[in-house]
Structure 1
Amino acid sequence: MRDILVIALVALFALMALRRPWIGVMLWTWISIMNPHRYAWGFAASAPVAMVAALVTLIGMLFSRERESPFKGAPVWLFFAFSLWITLSWLLGVDPVGDYAQWDKVMKIYLMTFVALILLNNRHHIMAFVWVTAGSLALLGLKGGIFTVLHAGNYRVWGPGGSFIQDNNAFALALIVTVPLVYFLYLQVQQKWARYGLLFTMSMCVVSALGSHSRGALLALIAMGAVFWWRSRHKGLISALIALMVLLILPMMPAEWWARMGTIAEYQQDHSAIGRLNGWIVAWEVAKHHFFGAGMSYQHQHFFDLYGYYNNHVIAAHSIYFQVLGNHGFGGLVLYLAMWLATYRTASWLRVHAQALPQAQWAADLGAMVQVGLVGFAVGGAFLSLSYFDLPYNMMVMVVLARRWVQTRGWERDPPGSLLEYAGLMRRKRPHAGVAPATGMARRLPS
């Protein structure tokens, strides 16, 4: 039954994407992030659903009149430069043939990121993109949170098999980064049932992340929680939710969870932490001796034999920073960091400038919550190999498109209402009364 449902949904939206390719972007996003076919047990589990989504989207894009240039801001130019650098790194790496599969996987994600920038061009598209991106992970977090509560945290929560977030630690970080996006949606909806449902989903995402027994996720949660509280327009509500988590969830967690969290300050005695430090040392040395890095992976035995300080055991980078450093050298790391800094600054621009426009309040909320999510990714990513995961790139797309929408007075050309508005899952556009005319505030917005 699950197989039939997944294939039926993919087929339906694939047909729609041929005429409206932006729907194909949503289909790809759902499949790439949530991996719904991995939860089927028959023919759908191995079906090339992602390839189908990409193909119909590209075909539809060829015949679409709504294509735009994807280069809509500094983050995109840096993303393009990083994509080129990755390709050079792969071609000049130590094992181009062996690394091809990883390069191919990453480039497909990057290609569809550019496709999203080409096809999504109004508020309804952006909001749908946020709903699909956040909802794909929030549903898994809801399921994982309920599982954690029912089993009192005695079992770890894992992500969809065969995905970037299959590992419990990676899945936990993805959920933590998703929480501010869900809160952004909470700020936009009108129906009380939807608002309460989103608050409950946020809580379950946090519980699920804690149920993963991930130490890095706990650090990311603390850092993001502080920024979340600071950025929120409803500090009382956020304070109440945090207090509820502390009082109800943490006492429930088993002794094993507390013992694992206690090792954060005892990394000298933790073999896992020592292994990560050793992997980071190797990444640094590889970057020192290879200008473009090792390629799509620096996990080669001869590198660990040469540069391993504590041992010569090959280990994953367990850090977005050292993963990029070892794979793509110092140049790649500079581009990677610059890309996320530019994305954060774009979100900051939205938070400051969109606030002054009644029609763009949603964009200000989006900028603030993307900033919160990026902080969580920056902290938690220091301990996980998630450099190529879709979610932060989707957040980049959101703020870049939203900024262009604000700068070009997108509310004047948006289509009438969307299905989300009619269902009460999006606030209707605010009236134009009292808004600065075209010669006023919007035209003076800094570029």
Structure 2
Amino acid sequence: MPIRDIVVTLAVLALLPLILRRPWIGILAWSWIGYMNPHRLAYGFAREAPFAMLIGATTLVAMLFMKEKIRFPWSRETIVLLLFVLWMCLTTVFSLQQEYSLLQLEKVVKIQVMTFITMILMLYRERLNLLVWVIVLSLGFYGVKGGIFTLMTGGGYHVMGPLGSFIGGNNELGLALIMILPLMRYLQLQRERKWQRNLFTLAMALTVIAILGTQSRGALVGLAVMAVVLIVKSRRRFTLLLLAALMVPVALTVMPESWFERMHTIQEYEEDQSAQGRINAWHFAVNLAQDRPLVGGGFEAFHWRNFRHYAPDPNDVKDAHSIYFEVLGEHGFAGLFIYLLLGFFAWRSATWVIRNTREREDLLWARDLAAMIQVSLAGYASAGAFLGLAYFDLYYHLIAMVVILRFLVRQQLQAAAEADSGAAAPAVSGRAARP
């Protein structure tokens, strides 16, 4: 019996009693399974085991009996996210591919349910930081591993994620690694010991090399945009500038000629067959949305049957390869508007956190996290323009983190304001009482 299967299964089973006692541990366990996909690294029975479903169900049951008061942080983001979920349900009713659409809706709804549960259970600073740690360690595993692999092989092979997962392909893994680099930076900023900060610097450098090693052109664009925003948004920029300066010669010396030739095709997309296939798919999405502007084609609309009616080249059937055209084709212009509105509100809320914690040293951690979430969102928005991961868990987890962060900051600012007003009241009354 494969050892890996046994280890992963025992680890999940050991977590279940802890989840029943403390349901918030279920969010950490679900994130570990969802992002690292340790069962996909096994070779036997554990590979297809429904661990995420088991953890999610246990978390829901534990919530029914927990003594902790349930609080839901209502905000514009949660309302828009709920509206987006309802809209996706509506577009599924009118889907052009009913059977496939229902299966995809089931997957997406599960992700969104756990996103809302995250907002409920993780409304504490310590839990929020633990969630960041789990996400960084889960995806950072592939960043460090992929960076070492790229250095050892001279960049001759694509860095891939675990097969059968959201990040199984090189493009998808590249996007995920771009999104966790800022979260790595956040954890680094919170470390006081130099050796710990140096470890994060090494991990970030290897993750950058892994992103290059995916040989994803979309990821390269996202990495460039994310790096600029990261330097602008981060404190202690010297380390990042030094790291960026080191990455350029590394790319020039480590990556093979074939990598440069592939990246050069970004400027010559007219002659690149893959790029032309994406453009054909984007035209398909626009044509479909114009014909069905409210509901689009529903989930799995990028199907060969639909390409015959809406694509300029009906024989060149490709996936969306863009979060924007994916949502546009599947949920229409209305769905795309809701999707973009969600990201805009999340960005604005992170800006609110940064602005309202600027003079508070006790909330420096919140300012750092809000800034790094913005960097992650910038990486997702830019790389996502060429990669089709509109329903990726991590994007919605970032939304949840922003909602939680704004809730915690507002709560602490209100407590501080009440304490200040309470301290000022006796002084005023005391002066008034003097003869």
TM range (shorter): over 0.9
Q: In the TM superposition, what is the alpha-carbon distance from 1:237 to its structure 2 partner?
A: 1.2
Determine the structure 2 residue equivalent to 1:334. Answer: 337
1:329-371, Cα deviation, whole Å (9 max, x unpaired):
0010000000011111111111111222222110100010111
Corresponding pairs, count: 419
Determine the structure 2 residue equivalent to 1:322. Answer: 325
CA contact (8 A) 2:97 2:301 kept: no
Determine the structure 1 residue equivalent to 2:20. Answer: 18
Letter in 2 for 1:32: G
CA contact (8 A) 2:287 2:311 kept: no
Query: Residue 190 of structure 1 is aligned with which of 180, 192, 197?
Result: 192
- Distance, in Å, in 2 between the alignment partners of 1:65 and 1:411 is 25
Determine the structure 1 residue equivalent to 2:45. Answer: 43
Q: In the TM superposition, what is the alpha-carbon distance from 1:293 to its structure 2 partner?
A: 1.0
Determine the structure 1 residue equivalent to 2:376. Answer: 373
Determine the structure 2 residue equivalent to 1:276. Answer: 278
- Distance, in Å, in 2 between the alignment partners of 1:172 and 1:384 is 10
CA contact (8 A) 2:100 2:300 kept: no
Report whether the alignment pairs 1:404 with 2:407: yes
Determine the structure 2 residue equivalent to 1:218. Answer: 220
Query: Residue 297 of structure 1 is aligned with which of 297, 300, 316?
Result: 300
Aligned counterparts, 1:148-297, within 5 A: 148-290=150-292, 291-297=294-300
Letter in 1 for 2:366: A
1:255-294, Cα deviation, whole Å (9 max, x unpaired):
0000000000000000111110110111111111122111
Query: Residue 438 of structure 1 is aligned with which of 419, 426, 431?
Result: 419
- Distance, in Å, in 2 between the alignment partners of 1:195 and 1:71 is 33
- Distance, in Å, in 2 between the alignment partners of 1:97 and 1:332 is 21
CA contact (8 A) 1:145 1:207 kept: yes
- Distance, in Å, in 1 between the alignment partners of 2:322 and 2:16 is 36
Letter in 2 for 1:293: G
Determine the structure 1 residue equivalent to 2:388. Answer: 385
CA contact (8 A) 2:186 2:369 kept: yes
SS at match of 2:266: helix
TM-score (norm 2): 0.93
Q: In the TM superposition, what is the alpha-carbon distance from 1:311 to its structure 2 partner?
A: 4.4
Determine the structure 2 residue equivalent to 1:416. Answer: none
SS at match of 1:409: helix
CA contact (8 A) 1:319 1:381 kept: yes
CA contact (8 A) 2:304 2:314 kept: no
- Distance, in Å, in 2 between the alignment partners of 1:250 and 1:392 is 31
Q: Any stretches of 5+ residues in structure 2 without a counterpart?
A: 422-435
Determine the structure 1 residue equivalent to 2:430. Answer: none
SS at match of 2:357: helix
- Provide the alpha-carbon RMSD of the alignment: 1.7
- Distance, in Å, in 2 between the alignment partners of 1:411 and 1:241 is 39
- Distance, in Å, in 2 between the alignment partners of 1:120 and 1:368 is 19
Q: 1:35 to 1:438 in 2, by over 3 A?
A: same
SS at match of 2:145: helix
TM-score (norm 1): 0.91
Letter in 2 for 1:142: V
Q: In the TM superposition, what is the alpha-carbon distance from 1:438 to its structure 2 partner?
A: 3.0
Aligned counterparts, 1:50-89, within 5 A: 50-89=52-91
Bigger CA drift: 274-283 or 2-11?
2-11
Q: In the TM superposition, what is the alpha-carbon distance from 1:115 to its structure 2 partner?
A: 0.7
- Distance, in Å, in 2 between the alignment partners of 1:39 and 1:191 is 33
Bigger CA drift: 403-412 or 270-279?
403-412
Identity of aligned residues (%): 42
CA contact (8 A) 2:73 2:403 kept: no
Letter in 2 for 1:382: A
Letter in 2 for 1:128: L
CA contact (8 A) 1:123 1:410 kept: no
1:173-204, Cα deviation, whole Å (9 max, x unpaired):
11011100000000112333322211111111
- Distance, in Å, in 1 between the alignment partners of 2:253 and 2:84 is 44
Q: In the TM superposition, what is the alpha-carbon distance from 1:109 to its structure 2 partner?
A: 0.6
CA contact (8 A) 1:67 1:119 kept: no
Query: Residue 139 of structure 1 is aligned with which of 138, 141, 150?
Result: 141
Q: In the TM superposition, what is the alpha-carbon distance from 1:71 to its structure 2 partner?
A: 4.2
Determine the structure 1 residue equivalent to 2:365. Answer: 362
SS at match of 1:355: coil
Letter in 2 for 1:322: F
Q: 1:197 to 1:22 in 2, by over 3 A?
A: same
